[in-house]
Structure formats: structure tokens, C-alpha cells
Amino acid sequence: MYDSGLARILSSIHSSAFLALLAKLDAGLVSGHDVVGSIVEISQIAEEHMGGTSGALYSYVSISIHNSRLSIYPSRIFFSALAQGILENARDGEIAPDGWVHALAAARDKLYAYTLARPPSRTLVDPLAAFIDAYSKSQGNYSLAVKAAADAAEGTKDLDPKVGRSAYLDKERLKREKVPDPGAWGVKVILENL
């Protein structure tokens, strides 16, 4: 039914969002054939099922189709801004690595408008920022960028939480037990399996 990479992605997502995503996958609304459309579908799930920085990362975008032209009105959060950036940087239906760099950087900046999390913060921002920075510096080398994100997610286990849900937990216990941030780990798993 679903491959193991997809299963790892889904298992890192909140359970109600997991079920909603499975329904969209089964309905064919999320696929590798329409990147922007899939991003929009995933963002709608996040709007309804997730909170915190995770909700801001994956959250809803409003769409309008007028005279056969798709318009996306981002609510200034990461995936919404990424979808807009992809549309703005695509040429003839294709997006080059430098277009991805611009779209990712713009999406990160939109996310930063809605969260105080900045690396190193022990949040999902740590691997996300590492991915975007490495992707940009390597001129679009996805493997290097994913490695940087994985290292940053792993590194959250040694960070003091500054913002987010982990900031309310026992910091010494988190460090003693070497628990990485769940949101950071989710970003790592998603990037590794795209």
C-alpha cells in the first residue's frame, strides 16, 4: 500500500493529521505529480490538525482560481510561502535549483515572521534552517542539505530548549536522556524521504 519511506514520514506526524493525510493519499490528492497542489493539501491538514511551530510550518494557504489562473494567498507560513515561491520561480513548469533556493529562503523568512525560534533553539527550525543554508551553499545539492538537516535534528538532543513545547519540560532530563526534539526529527524524516 505505502512504501516504508512514506510510512516513516507519516509516523512522525500527529495522529489525526496522519489519518487525514492517509485519506488524501488514498483520494489521490497528494502525489508526486502536482507538487504545488500536494503542498496545498498538506497545508490544509496542518491547519486543521496541528498547532505550535509545526502548525506554522505546515499550515493552510488559501487558493483562488479565476479565469483559469491559479492564485495562492499565503498566510505567511512556511509551506504556503514555499508554494508561492515555487510558482514565482518556475519557468515552463520547471524549477531550477536556484529557483528552489529563492523559494526556500523566502519561505523560511515568512516562517520567522511567526515564530521566535531561531537556530539553535531545539525546535524544527534547527534542521529546516540547516537544510536551507546547506542547499543554498551547495548550489542545490539535496543530499548534502539533507545531511545538514539530519545533523541539526540529531544535535537538538544536546540543546537547551529556548521556545516551543520543549521549553516547558525538564531541561536536565532532556539532556540526560539525549532526546532529540520531535518536531526537528519530523523535519529530518520528511526531508530524508522526499
pLDDT score, position 54: 63
Q: How many Å is the maximal CA-CA distance in the chain?
A: 58
The answer to whether 136 and 104 have CB atoms below 8 angstroms apart is yes
Q: How far apart are CA 149 and CA 191, in angstroms?
A: 8
> Which residues lie closer than 8 Å to 80 by C-beta, 6 or more apart?
43, 59, 60, 61, 72, 74, 110
Using a pLDDT cut of 70, give the percent of the chain over it. 75
The answer to whether 152 and 146 have CB atoms below 8 angstroms apart is no
pLDDT score, position 72: 44
The answer to whether 82 and 38 have CB atoms below 8 angstroms apart is no
For the stretch 105-140, pLDDT in tens is 998 998 888 788 899 989 889 999 999 999 999 999
Average pLDDT estimate for 152-181:
83
> Which residues lie closer than 8 Å to 27 by C-beta, 6 or more apart?
none
For the stretch 51-85, pLDDT in tens is 555 665 555 444 444 444 444 444 446 777 787 88
> Which residues lie closer than 8 Å to 57 by C-beta, 6 or more apart?
46, 77, 78, 79, 111, 124, 128, 183, 187
Which residues are registered as beta bridge partners of 63? 72
Of residues 177 and 51, more confidence is placed in 177
Global pTM value? 0.67
Q: How far apart are CA 8 and CA 10, in angstroms?
A: 5
Of residues 148 and 167, more confidence is placed in 148
Average pLDDT estimate for 149-169:
85
Q: Cell 540526560 identifies what position?
A: 176
The answer to whether 85 and 68 have CB atoms below 8 angstroms apart is no
pLDDT score, position 135: 96
What are 137's three cell numbers? Answer: 551553499
* Stated length of the chain: 194
